[in-house]
Structure 1
Amino acid sequence: MNLIENTKAYIEWVEEIKGAIKKAQIKASISVNHELIKLNWIIGKSISEKIQIENWGASVVDNLSKDLQKQFPNQQGYSRSNLFSMRKWYEFYSNSGLEEAKVQQLVGQIPWGHNILIITKSNDIDEAIFYINKTIENNWSRTILAHQIDLELYERSGKAINNFETTLPEIQSELANETLKDPYKFDFLTLTEKALEKDIEEQLVSHITAFLLELGGGFSFVGRQVPIKIDGEDFYIDLLFYHIRLKCYIVIELKSVKFRAEYAGKMNLYLSAVDDLIKTDDENPTIGLLLCKSKSSIIAEYALRGTTQPIGVAEYEIVKSIPKDLKPNLPTIEEIEKELATTFCISNGR
């Protein structure tokens, strides 16, 4: 075979080899991390038992640290503080009543630094497991994980008022409910509390990467002020997204005022139109999210009770600026557009 004449075949072959190597490297790194976490669990458990059961005293950790660093001078992780972290980490989960094997399997899927951050900032085992699962699901860096914890994602997730239970299949309903939160915290906007809807919308789009981070994993941006013609009349959707895991469009309408019952009616119109004019047959029903400055939970519940389209209602908050060290971890607009284009090609069979 003449490689010069078959350049394309050669390049494709090289890419296959590269892909195989990368997959092997990922598997190896996961395996190494799992073994490291397993080792730290064993050490933490042993330290805990020596101090609590055999009453050796906490000073034994100082001696252990010195001996381990002497024996393994080229290995990090055996400092006094890290050994105490191993003990704290083990005791956090061992006191929870969960089966030890299941805990080890779960915590072994994220890096050591993530593990310590989670137990340090979590109030209970349920919160810790929530952040572990979110880290695995979204492949968060430690910086992004810390940011999400600081923004109290656990307290906000699944809190949006919605009618998903009566408008979506059970599995879809549960995932949609977990996807939404309340309130949404737009800590990356430079706006006053009296900002108009169009101002908020403009800044959300201009800060699309940070906005997608706050929305959560799976969201891809489709467009702003998306035009829809219904019986000769023009309507414009504030923000249109596509959710990869839910496999559906999500319409977001911004309201710089308190929620009003009539907003649900207009959202119902938009969802019906998107389902008829944009959604394909193999995609799930479109979901609506009304983001308001404030709301009455009772009025929101009543407004959604009789609607047949899946709608959620949540508040938003404009708070402080996003940390500078978080920005390098966010995807670029080009990356988002590439992901969205790939998603649409797959969904359309291209």
Structure 2
Amino acid sequence: MYYGIGKYVSENSREGFWGKAAIETISRQLQAELPGLRGFSAANIKFMRQFYEIWSVDLKSLTAVSEISDTQSLTAVSEIDILQLVESDNAIEERFDLSMFVSLGFTHHMIIVRKVGPLTERLFYIHQAVINKWSKEILTARIDDDLYNHRGELAHNFIQTIPDNRQTLKTIGMFKDEYLLDFINVEELGERDKEDIDERVIEQEIVHNVKKFIMTFGRDFAFVGNQYKLEVFGVEHFPDLIFFNRELNALVIIELKKGAFKPSYLGQLCTYLRLADDQMRKPHENPSIGIVLCKSADKKYVEYVIQDYDKPMGVATYKTSDEMPEKLKRVLPGVEDLKKLL
């Protein structure tokens, strides 16, 4: 309906005989004739026009593409194809699903159209918003985080270590190269120097805010435990965080590091993955996946040193709320001011 109204308004206001005040007049008349009618303010009607004008040509081409792609099979995918699918915008366009498009609420569409330009990015956020059931606040945050340009950029060895190509694609698409853990405010963790904030402090903040962490990290994650004891030959090991991902059907072990990436972290994580596969993994589950989450990492260096490990691992970085740009810090009220307002 909104698309149709947008088309009608566009055709008459852009090329027709309507004057500048026509939309405001129509809005007032609708609200006068239909008391209580919502969603037809002048601003919303103008957005319906914008919605139509942005999507009209694209929808025609996308529905044609989707009909062709439905007849194609992706059962045989090579390693080169996987890289192309992850990096190619055409892959997103070919996955277009009209039912998914129309199932997304119009408010969500408004956010995407206002904040996102290129077609492939719009399709990406529509797909993610639907499958992850994002609220409008989460959608806005993910767009502001520039999730689209962080997809598939995680430094990893998944292609070499996961034999099933479909599983490889799913795994690559599940993780980002950088995460904003904005619920962790290092400045509020005590009167200590920031250098003294160790991994355990950050880990506890994640555990206390595990719901927010899962929503940040991705979809279909279930929390298993932290500092989970794994023992072999009398030696005890304690992985920082363990999750289970339903879509990947695999345990995900996250090792937190407060500083820059070091190659030794991969050896430690590889040991945890072997123990988890031996002691925790169920017969029907896929091999466990490991993620090193550190403050900084050189992607090319990580890709160089990670290639000889036989366990699926990746390295991502994170930021906390204290790293907000100074320009934003000056504009936003402080924590105490916010508490008073609330």
What TM-score results when the alignment is normalised by the length of structure 2? 0.77
Distance verdict in 2 for CA 1:305–1:105, change over 3 Å: same
- Please say if residues 219 and 244 of structure 1, whose CA atoms lie closer than 8 Å, have aligned partners that are also in contact: yes
Kindly provide the CA deviation profile for residues 35-72 of structure 1, in whole angstroms up to 9, marking residues without a partner as x.
xxxx0000011211223333644433223323333343
* Deviation beyond 4 Å, 4+ runs, structure 1: 100-104, 320-323
Counterpart of 1:217? 219
Find the aligned partners of 2:288 and 2:273 in 1 and give their Cα distance.
Answer: 6
Counterpart secondary structure, 1:258: coil
Find the aligned partners of 1:104 and 1:298 in 2 and give their Cα distance.
Answer: 38
1:280 to 279, 282, 289: 282
Distance verdict in 2 for CA 1:320–1:55, change over 3 Å: farther
Counterpart of 2:31? 69
1:119 to 113, 134, 158: 113
| 2:17 pairs with 1:43 | no
User: Offset at 1:232?
Assistant: 2.3
Counterpart of 1:232? 234
1:179 to 174, 177, 189: 174
- Contiguous gaps of at least 5 residues in structure 2: 64-95, 188-193, 325-331, 333-342
- Please say if residues 186 and 322 of structure 2, whose CA atoms lie closer than 8 Å, have aligned partners that are also in contact: no
Output the amino acid matched with 1:86: M
Kindly provide the CA deviation profile for residues 253-296 of structure 1, in whole angstroms up to 9, marking residues without a partner as x.
01111111121122111111111111011001100000111111
Output the amino acid matched with 2:172: N
- Please say if residues 224 and 239 of structure 1, whose CA atoms lie closer than 8 Å, have aligned partners that are also in contact: yes
Find the aligned partners of 1:320 and 1:157 in 2 and give their Cα distance.
Answer: 24
- Contiguous gaps of at least 5 residues in structure 1: 1-38, 324-350
Counterpart of 1:159? 153
| 2:262 pairs with 1:260 | yes
Distance verdict in 2 for CA 1:176–1:85, change over 3 Å: same
Aligned length: 285
Find the aligned partners of 2:158 and 2:12 in 1 and give their Cα distance.
Answer: 51
Counterpart secondary structure, 1:315: strand
Distance verdict in 2 for CA 1:88–1:320, change over 3 Å: farther
Counterpart secondary structure, 1:257: coil
Kindly provide the CA deviation profile for residues 82-124 of structure 1, in whole angstroms up to 9, marking residues without a partner as x.
1001011111222546537578644310111111112111132
Distance verdict in 2 for CA 1:296–1:100, change over 3 Å: closer
Pick which of 300-309 and 90-99 moved more: 90-99
1:93 to 35, 52, 55: 55
- Please say if residues 197 and 255 of structure 1, whose CA atoms lie closer than 8 Å, have aligned partners that are also in contact: yes
- Please say if residues 229 and 236 of structure 2, whose CA atoms lie closer than 8 Å, have aligned partners that are also in contact: yes
Pick which of 140-149 and 217-226 moved more: 140-149
Output the amino acid matched with 2:143: I
Output the amino acid matched with 1:88: Q
Counterpart secondary structure, 1:313: strand
- Please say if residues 65 and 78 of structure 1, whose CA atoms lie closer than 8 Å, have aligned partners that are also in contact: yes
- Please say if residues 151 and 185 of structure 1, whose CA atoms lie closer than 8 Å, have aligned partners that are also in contact: yes
Pick which of 110-119 and 120-129 moved more: 120-129
| 2:299 pairs with 1:314 | no
User: Offset at 1:302?
Assistant: 1.0
Counterpart secondary structure, 1:144: helix
Find the aligned partners of 1:215 and 1:74 in 2 and give their Cα distance.
Answer: 41
RMSD: 2.3
What TM-score results when the alignment is normalised by the length of structure 1? 0.75
Distance verdict in 2 for CA 1:268–1:103, change over 3 Å: closer
Find the aligned partners of 2:118 and 2:161 in 1 and give their Cα distance.
Answer: 33
Q: How does 1:237-256 map to 2 (within 5 A)?
A: 237-256=239-258
